[in-house]
Amino acid sequence: MSTNLKYLSLGILVFQTTSLVLTMRYSRTLKEEGPRYLSSTAVVLAELLKILSCVLLVYKDSKCNLRTLNRVLHDEILNKPMETLKLAIPSGIYTLQNNLLYVALSNLDAATYQWPSDSQATAAKEHSAGSQFVGLMAVLIACFSSGFAGVYFEKILKETKQSVWIRNIQLGFFGSIFGLMGVYIYDGEQLSKDGFFQGYNKLTWIVVVLQALGGLVIAAVIKYADNILKGFATSLSIILSTLISYFWLQDFVPTSVFFFGAILVIAATFLYGYDPKPAGNPTKA
């Protein structure tokens, strides 16, 4: 059963990662009348949707009993403040990462976003040097922060008996607080002028739902597998995003340098997760 959950969560994560990258990129570059939606508000809405989804899952685990749900939430969250506070660190990092992803995909094509070492020659045709640099820096910071937060969250999940959905509620709680702080610090002026939901359309809501789904699936992957499998899913997503960007969106032309780097990234993921069988002891004469 655990093996089935492992590979099911892997498949869903590949689908979610690829879909999120492509739809987010399209939503940030789509030219429409009026103001563009604020990425900081989308991050907050994704956190709130994640909390709501996890509360419903805990409700289902509580046999659809409101009293049991209330007791579980009270006992596992309110009565364990130190356990809840542990999630503030990865939550803050994930919130930063989610905001950086919007910055990256506003300045890079989908394939380069997922593997940020592509040749500058092709990208320079569509992006200025300044926006390309901003996008690459956003990706690099997101990569380092994601690695640390993933390992930290895996440690917390596997050292305690709390439900993965309870942990996600705790993550979402801090994430929504940090996200709202970012909204008012960086986009407060635009927010007061055009409102919280400025520029929202159906595509924006799809991005929000996919981002919320990603938080749930990543937690499941880390719980039932490990952070290495999450990296493997990202490698598969690189291939899918490249193919879709080239054949469907036609906004990316892969170069030999890109192919070489992508092969290195995918090979590194396999090697890092490879667990060779120990050689048998030689038979003594």
* Cβ proximity of 103 and 138 under 8 Å: yes
Evaluate if residue 45 carries a pLDDT over 90: yes
In angstroms, what is the C-alpha Rg of the chain? 21
pLDDT, tens digit (0-9, with 9 covering 90-100), for 192-233: 888 899 889 899 999 999 888 887 877 777 666 666 666 667
pLDDT, tens digit (0-9, with 9 covering 90-100), for 89-132: 888 888 888 787 777 766 665 555 554 433 333 434 444 455 66
Q: Which residue type sits at 66?
A: L
Nearest CA among 85, 107, 116 for reference residue 39:
107
Q: Positive or negative, the Cα torsion across 63, 68, 70, 75?
A: negative
Average pLDDT of the chain, as a whole number: 77
Q: In this structure, what token pair is assigned to residue 36?
A: 């563009």
- From CA 140, how far away is CA 145, in angstroms rounded? 9
* Cβ proximity of 143 and 219 under 8 Å: no
Report the percentage of the chain scoring pLDDT > 90.
11
Residue 120's pLDDT is 37
Residue 174's pLDDT is 92
Residue 71's pLDDT is 92
Residue with the bigger pLDDT between 242 and 58: it is 58
Q: At what angle do helices 88-105 and 164-186 cross, to 10 degrees?
A: 60
Q: How many residues does the chain have?
A: 285
Give the helix ranges, DSSP H, for the chain.
2-29, 39-61, 66-73, 81-85, 88-105, 110-114, 120-123, 129-159, 164-186, 188-194, 202-224, 227-244, 256-273
Q: In this structure, what token pair is assigned to residue 110?
A: 């989908």
Calculate mean pLDDT across residues 49-62: 90
Q: How confident is the model at residue 273 (pLDDT cuts 50, 70, 90)?
A: low
Expressed in angstroms, the distance from the first to the final Cα of the chain is 44
Within a 13 Å sphere around the CA of 276, how many CA atoms are in the beta-carbon half?
4
pTM above 0.85, yes or no: no
- From CA 35, how far away is CA 192, in angstroms rounded? 13
- From CA 15, how far away is CA 233, in angstroms rounded? 9
For 237, residues 6+ apart whose C-beta sits below 8 A from its C-beta are 14, 17, 18, 21, 114
